[in-house]
Structure 1
Amino acid sequence: MTTTADDLVTLVRGFNPKTNEALIRDAFSYGARMHEGQLRHSGEPYFTHPVAVAAILAEQQLDDATIITALLHDTIEDTPASYSEVEQLFGSEVAELVDGVTKLTNLQLNSSETKQAENFRKLFMAMAKDLRVILVKLSDRLHNMRTIKAMRPEKQVQKARETMDIFAPLAGRMGMQWMREELEDLAFQVLNPEARTSIMRRFITLQKETGDVIERITTDMRKELAQAELEAEIFGRAKKPYSIWRKMEEKEQSFSRLSDIYGFRIITDSEEDCYRALGAIHRRWRAVPGRFKDYISQPKTNGYRSIHTTVSGRDGKRVEVQIRTRQMHDVAETGVAAHWSYRDGVRSRNPFAVDPAKWIAQLTEQFDGEDDHQNFLEAVKLEMYTDKVFCFTPKGEVIKLPKGATPIDFAYAIHTRIGSACVGAKIDGLRVPLWTRVKNGQSVEIITAEGQTPQVTWLDIATTGKAKTAIRRSLRHVDRARFAKLGRELARSAFEQVGKKATDKVLATAARALRLGDVDDLLEQMGSAELTGREVVSAVYPELSKVRGDEVERKRAVIGLELGQSFDRAPCCEPLPGERIVGITFRGKGVTLHAIDCDRLSAYEEQPERWLDLRWHDGSHPAAYGVTLDVTVSNDPGVLGRICTLIGEAGANIADLNFVERKPDFFRVLVHAELRDAGQLHSLMLTLEAESHVAAITRYRDTGVQADAIAAVENAQ
């Protein structure tokens, strides 16, 4: 364990004899002096933490500036040290790195979605400026996770969740697989200690039953490679507990049925020997179909190169084998960090090390233009958490996509123009639906047509952040005018309902209050159902949105509940005040209200103990209970606006509009309106039915797959 300046210098000198030993010692002394008197949660001197972080980075054979930054990474934030003083003593490069780590430390990555998305943007900006900032931060998190037991239990859970959600995937994306695995396992130990302990016990039992499987298979592999006259190093290991747990969850298998829990690595002298070793392994053991990946000919974006294959070993047990050269192995161990690593006193000239500037530019390019916080966050997580597949264009060019990608993703990966004009696809020469999942090695041909534009359904088909961003941008452009026109009608109706007018000045005030760009943005979001009329009115006239004193509050709207018992309305039947209702109890979930004639109640016939005899309060209720109407109207100018006006005049608020069918003369739209009671619903339906442009109107009940899924979840509780 590195505890003194001599220990650290000795460690660094081992891979970099030309290190600036004096500067490292000065940084060690300065950091110790600045942190003097500070203690960690464990009671140890605080400076033991920066020293441990520096040692982790030294083990990765990184440059002096990165190691000195580790020693000083908490000085600007937690001690009297200043940026200018650090710059004066250790140079501008170190000062910039320490300042960058300080700013990252202050990011609250586990906060609300809007804040989290904004902080992810700052994270990527920091990465773009100098990737070594992230390397120090990851090593800082690794040491904190190694010593997490000294923290309060609730703090442990918070840090472990943040590690599992953000730092471990980021380490994996950077190619630092060893760090990803250790971070995941340390977080797993906090978040699910029982599961981890169970897996460790099963491992011990398995070893007692089968002996040292790793040693036996390693010996067999050495014999096979010796017969092929190949010199190579062979390492075997059992996979980490969290990796095994994840496989058990994904495959829905028990530990006893899980086969590939051992991994082996073969390190050769040359690329040619990698393929010769592969041949020797496949001659001796049967290859498992679909489990071969050649990352040497098709390397990952972070520079990772290796051959992966899974074979059936002794007793039919599957084992994963990775084959690579020494230089490939160095990159596989340190990922993007290999760019700064040293060997024998000089910067390592590893031909497989990726240029960090190009890597981060490629990563951040996918998120440019995504201005919506939630969508940006979705895009980042999609790209960070997914494995890759490799497909080919008809000309043989390689396109890298996330696992589970579709031809839509493939088209947008080639060019946004190709994606937007896509009308079909062929995989290996056969026409396939656009929702088909592409697989490794397939050849994909995109069929385009002039005049084609992205469809709304593509958002459900696409999986990559780049494709989803481009589709949303195109849809917003196409639908902006239509949504804005519809939004103006909704705004007029919402404001008239409270006796006000939706003037441009009022709408501009609402836009500012809701932190939107302008009135057009406000109207567009109303027209696309991202904002409700109630929310817009409340932004300008909050006092008008409150429940009147003579109205029944929602929490006491139902009679027959126990004290403190909450309720929700079932989405399948959406019961309204005035209708006969039945309550179904759920452990820890309160009560779900169903209309007495709801078809879903049959699912609970054999559980009478869960039924409650309830009724609505007889008083006047606020217009806060949503119900969905299925309306078929003529496709004429102004008709939809007229419908919205009638709903507003009836004292109802439109919460959502969803077009489900469009034809040249008619279209169907699902209108989700917020009402007071069943009487208001009956009056509203009569009013709309009397309108000459309305061909049909019914109350919509969700009797499809969604309701089945809800019932299944409820029954499982």
Structure 2
Amino acid sequence: MSAEATAISSVDTLAEQLSTYLDTPRINQVRRAYYYAEQAHEGQMRRSGEPYITHPLAVARILADMKLDHQSLMAAMLHDVIEDTGIPKDALSEQFGEPVADLVDGVSKLTQIEFRSRAEAQAENFQKMTLAMARDIRVILVKLADRLHNMRTLGHMSYEKRQRIATETLDIYAPIANRLGMHSLCTELEDLGFSFLYPMRSRYISKAVEKLRGSHREIIEEIRGKLEEKLNERGLPGRIIGREKHLNSIYNKMKFKHKSFHEIMDVYAFRIITDTTDDCYRILGAVHSLYKPLPGRFKDYIAMPKANGYQSLHTTLFGMHVNIEIQIRTEEMEQIANNGIAAHWLYKNDNSAVLEVSQRRVDRWVQGLMEMRERADDSLEFIEHVKVDLFPDEIYVFTPKGKILELPGGATPIDFAYAIHTDIGNACVACRINRNLGSLSQPLQSGQTVEVITAPGARPNPAWLSFVVTGKARSSIRHFLKYQKKAESLELGKTLLKKSLAGFDYTLSQIDEAQRQRVCDHNQAASFDDLLSDIGLGNRMAYIVARQLVSDPGGDSGGSERPDDRGIVNIEAGGHGRGSMTIRGTEGLLVRFASCCKPIPGDPVVGVMESGSGMVIHSDTCRKLPDKDADRSALTPLKWAKDITDEFSVELRVELERQRGVIAEVASAISLADGNIERINVEEQNARLSIVSLVVHVNGRRHLARVMRRVRNVRAVTHIARVRH
């Protein structure tokens, strides 16, 4: 039979397959798309030597196996037409309508994506893929089917191409298929990717599986027989299928879970497919009466579906000296488990509630991707967030009202807060886990009820970035901090500039717009706000900008600035402005307290501007500050606000005689003076004396004096002093 005749018989076979779920006019539209594509690809061949049209036809067949709608099948037939034959999108639009042309255009754009180039290019392309998915999820379904057929025929490619495409499949496409709940397609992509990336390992595992299966056949048949007998005895409908372990999954369990091949294969897996959800639970009872269930191995994904819409009951039994894994689900759940979001088109006419939930989850996921895309600073940051969401090992937690939220394994209460709403995450200050106060950084466990406590005016803590795991939480925190830093640098810059202008007997309102613009141009700043931000960040000196603002437009632009070897910016010529800047200790990201001298309210303090990171507050007597008066002119005089209630860390060194219970006595003395101990460290000096290093929280010098007096009164204490490095 000629290639042409084979293709025609294949399109007839496809039409026959489609007649099981599509009407004749729709099947004819698919046929029309096929003939159009055949003409367009006339004379083009694949690497295997077959006519090119065999590829689009194979892609359409994969989608037909999933019972996808006629527009997706038409797009499958035409998916390479724009890319390979130069036919424009408008021509397709005229012939087959806007939706089909949009799908083909979307798939063409994804086909141009080369993921394994540089990391940045890969990330850029992932963004394009997200946009395509957001417009129409079917674009990615056609692309996944296209990738599957290419993987099935990858053997004809060069070694380098095989490696690149297999890696890309395992990194990007298989996880997306998994996230969309398309289990069958995902496992085939994984197994093919694995076999091309590691051909030797794949062959070795495949042979070992075949050998083992032969010797296990009797046990498998015996277990199946007993299960069937039990269902018949109870009058329960259900077909029993043996479940195959996939090569890639065996390899990953051996590699990452450090399990031996025999440990993995000594589990016998079955799936029981029945009619209704009620039957699922009845069958569960029946199998539990046949073999003993293993404690802690039962999972109810019917009541709590996975993030990708998957539903099933999972139980592990112990019988006939082996472990037996059983999944129980309905026909509809089986369709969704295998085809995920693709099953949506199959059940579209049934108004299936399960599918609606599944569709909502996918919509929510794609919507979440779009939000992250808007927030991310760059495409690399975006892909870092998305990869977390593509490999979720889910946990399920409850809101206080009983709503279920799925989160990736390792998620914390902060991730939970952001999953509810960005504003709740931003204002989170504490949480209750199962009604008890819990730590914001502790990983949550499935089944816990989490309540988020918020406070008006609260803001995300930069430390959260070290433990959050969801892309949404990470991108929201970074986004907030970026804008907070901008706002704070602007505010701090304005304060410092006003103070410097006061030294020249000027106020900011006296500087007209033209002069501001001249100074901006001179400093190559895009706007006056940018200039203020730069002052706040420590990148420019307030004094020099002030002098430029008050000097004659045509005159000297005043002064030069140069960082000295301590990173402190010096001013050549001129003194500083009058008065001091007031600090409260809660200024945020750009005003920090030096860890060397740990200043507290009441200590004389000065500010040092550090390039790019704002102001660091030092004690006036700190050894790290410059000695020369000329150098000290760069320091900002500061004064403390009157009503500070915040706590500050102070280090104390206590010498004491060694006695039983003396450390407890010192701790008790500190607490009687309302001090909080952050850290205590005992250094043994000799058999008679010990030195204790303490870090205590106090709210000022008076409070510190009270704490030190109490400690001094402990009889064993011979000396106490505040440590300043």
Residue 270 (structure 1) aligned to one of 268, 276, 287: 276
Residue 106 (structure 1) aligned to one of 112, 127, 139: 112
Q: Is the 8 A contact 2:344 2:359 kept in 1?
A: no
- Offset of residue 290 of structure 1: 3.3
Residue 429 (structure 2) aligned to one of 410, 413, 423: 423
Q: Which has the larger radius of gyration?
A: 2
Pick closer, same or farther for the CA change 1:292–1:260 going to 2, 3 Å: farther
Q: Is the 8 A contact 1:13 1:19 kept in 2?
A: no
User: What is aligned with 1:334?
Assistant: 339
- Offset of residue 664 of structure 1: 8.6
Q: Is the 8 A contact 1:225 1:280 kept in 2?
A: yes
- Offset of residue 51 of structure 1: 0.7
Q: Is the 8 A contact 2:433 2:450 kept in 1?
A: yes
Residue identity in the other structure for 1:336: I
Q: Is the 8 A contact 2:489 2:534 kept in 1?
A: no
Pick closer, same or farther for the CA change 1:423–1:664 going to 2, 3 Å: farther
Residue 362 (structure 1) aligned to one of 356, 364, 379: 364
Give per-residue Cα distances to partners, 1:584-625, cap 9 Å, x unaligned: xxxxxxxxxxxxxxxxxxxxxxxxxxxxxxxxxxxxxxxxxx
User: What is aligned with 1:160?
Assistant: 166
Residue identity in the other structure for 1:632: C
Residue 608 (structure 2) aligned to one of 640, 664, 674: 640
What's the secondary structure of 2:462's corresponding residue? Answer: coil
Q: Does 1:435 align with 2:441?
A: yes
Residue identity in the other structure for 1:84: D
TM-score norm. by structure 1 comes to: 0.68
Give the distance between the partners of 2:108 and 2:183, measured in 1 at CA: 25
Residue 294 (structure 2) aligned to one of 288, 295, 307: 288
Spell out the pairing of 1:253-264 with structure 2 (5 A cutoff). Answer: 253-258=259-264, 262-264=268-270
User: What is aligned with 1:705?
Assistant: none
Give the distance between the partners of 2:94 and 2:217, measured in 1 at CA: 60
Q: Is the 8 A contact 2:341 2:359 kept in 1?
A: no
User: What is aligned with 1:64?
Assistant: 70
Q: Is the 8 A contact 1:128 1:360 kept in 2?
A: no
Residue 94 (structure 2) aligned to one of 88, 108, 111: 88
Give the distance between the partners of 1:519 and 1:194, measured in 2 at CA: 62
Pick closer, same or farther for the CA change 1:254–1:486 going to 2, 3 Å: farther
Pick closer, same or farther for the CA change 1:691–1:320 going to 2, 3 Å: farther
User: What is aligned with 1:405?
Assistant: 411
Give per-residue Cα distances to partners, 1:142-165, cap 9 Å, x unaligned: 000011111111111111111111
Give the distance between the partners of 1:126 and 1:409, measured in 2 at CA: 27
Give the distance between the partners of 1:216 and 1:254, measured in 2 at CA: 25
What's the secondary structure of 2:43's corresponding residue? Answer: coil
Q: Is the 8 A contact 1:113 1:377 kept in 2?
A: no
TM-score norm. by structure 2 comes to: 0.67
Residue 310 (structure 2) aligned to one of 299, 304, 310: 304
Q: Sequence identity of aligned pairs in percent?
A: 40
Residue 350 (structure 1) aligned to one of 349, 352, 358: 352
- Offset of residue 220 of structure 1: 2.5
Give per-residue Cα distances to partners, 1:103-143, cap 9 Å, x unaligned: 22123333434433332232122112221111111000000
User: What is aligned with 2:233?
Assistant: 227
Give the distance between the partners of 1:668 and 1:60, measured in 2 at CA: 72
Q: Does 1:206 align with 2:212?
A: yes
What are the ranges of 5 or more consecutive residues in structure 2 without an aligned counterpart? 1-5, 495-518, 540-593, 637-649, 652-725
Give per-residue Cα distances to partners, 1:364-388, cap 9 Å, x unaligned: 3324142322332122111121132
Residue 465 (structure 1) aligned to one of 450, 453, 471: 471
- Offset of residue 423 of structure 1: 3.1
What's the secondary structure of 1:119's corresponding residue? Answer: helix
Q: Does 1:8 align with 2:14?
A: yes
Give the distance between the partners of 1:667 and 1:209, measured in 2 at CA: 82
Spell out the pairing of 1:548-587 with structure 2 (5 A cutoff). Answer: none
Q: Is the 8 A contact 1:303 1:354 kept in 2?
A: no
Q: Is the 8 A contact 2:536 2:614 kept in 1?
A: no
Pick closer, same or farther for the CA change 1:17–1:474 going to 2, 3 Å: closer
Q: Is the 8 A contact 1:127 1:134 kept in 2?
A: yes
Residue identity in the other structure for 1:351: A
CA-based RMSD = 3.9
User: What is aligned with 2:51?
Assistant: 45
Give the distance between the partners of 1:151 and 1:249, measured in 2 at CA: 28
Pick closer, same or farther for the CA change 1:519–1:43 going to 2, 3 Å: farther
- Offset of residue 262 of structure 1: 4.3
Q: Is the 8 A contact 1:631 1:668 kept in 2?
A: no
User: What is aligned with 1:144?
Assistant: 150
Spell out the pairing of 1:609-688 with structure 2 (5 A cutoff). Answer: 632=596, 639-641=607-609
Give the distance between the partners of 2:195 and 2:234, measured in 1 at CA: 43
User: What is aligned with 1:246?
Assistant: 252
Residue identity in the other structure for 1:370: R
Give the distance between the partners of 2:614 and 2:295, measured in 1 at CA: 45
Size of the aligned set, in residue pairs, is 545
User: What is aligned with 1:475?
Assistant: 481
Pick closer, same or farther for the CA change 1:520–1:82 going to 2, 3 Å: farther
Q: Is the 8 A contact 2:430 2:454 kept in 1?
A: yes
Give the distance between the partners of 1:449 and 1:316, measured in 2 at CA: 54
User: What is aligned with 1:192?
Assistant: 198
What's the secondary structure of 1:169's corresponding residue? Answer: helix
Pick closer, same or farther for the CA change 1:290–1:416 going to 2, 3 Å: farther
User: What is aligned with 2:330?
Assistant: 325
Pick closer, same or farther for the CA change 1:81–1:184 going to 2, 3 Å: same
Pick closer, same or farther for the CA change 1:423–1:70 going to 2, 3 Å: same
Q: Does 1:97 align with 2:65?
A: no
Give the distance between the partners of 2:300 and 2:479, measured in 1 at CA: 36
Residue 31 (structure 1) aligned to one of 34, 37, 57: 37
What's the secondary structure of 2:406's corresponding residue? Answer: strand
Spell out the pairing of 1:362-401 with structure 2 (5 A cutoff). Answer: 362-367=364-369, 368=371, 369-373=374-378, 374-401=380-407
Residue identity in the other structure for 1:265: R
Greater alpha carbon shift after TM alignment, 381-390 vs 470-479? 470-479
Q: Is the 8 A contact 2:394 2:406 kept in 1?
A: yes
Q: Is the 8 A contact 2:395 2:446 kept in 1?
A: yes
Residue 175 (structure 1) aligned to one of 175, 181, 185: 181
Q: Is the 8 A contact 1:633 1:666 kept in 2?
A: no
Give the distance between the partners of 1:22 and 1:204, measured in 2 at CA: 44
Give per-residue Cα distances to partners, 1:531-553, cap 9 Å, x unaligned: xxxxxxxxxxxxxxxxxxxxxxx
Give the distance between the partners of 1:48 and 1:371, measured in 2 at CA: 41
What's the secondary structure of 2:430's corresponding residue? Answer: strand
User: What is aligned with 2:655?
Assistant: none
Give the distance between the partners of 1:212 and 1:485, measured in 2 at CA: 78
Pick closer, same or farther for the CA change 1:691–1:140 going to 2, 3 Å: same
Give the distance between the partners of 2:492 and 2:597, measured in 1 at CA: 15
User: What is aligned with 1:603?
Assistant: none
Give per-residue Cα distances to partners, 1:619-657, cap 9 Å, x unaligned: xxxxxxxxxxx983676876432x66xxxxxxxxxxx97
- Offset of residue 292 of structure 1: 2.6
Q: Is the 8 A contact 2:395 2:406 kept in 1?
A: yes
What's the secondary structure of 1:16's corresponding residue? Answer: coil
- Offset of residue 180 of structure 1: 0.7
Give the distance between the partners of 1:524 and 1:119, measured in 2 at CA: 37
- Offset of residue 458 of structure 1: 0.8
Pick closer, same or farther for the CA change 1:471–1:523 going to 2, 3 Å: farther
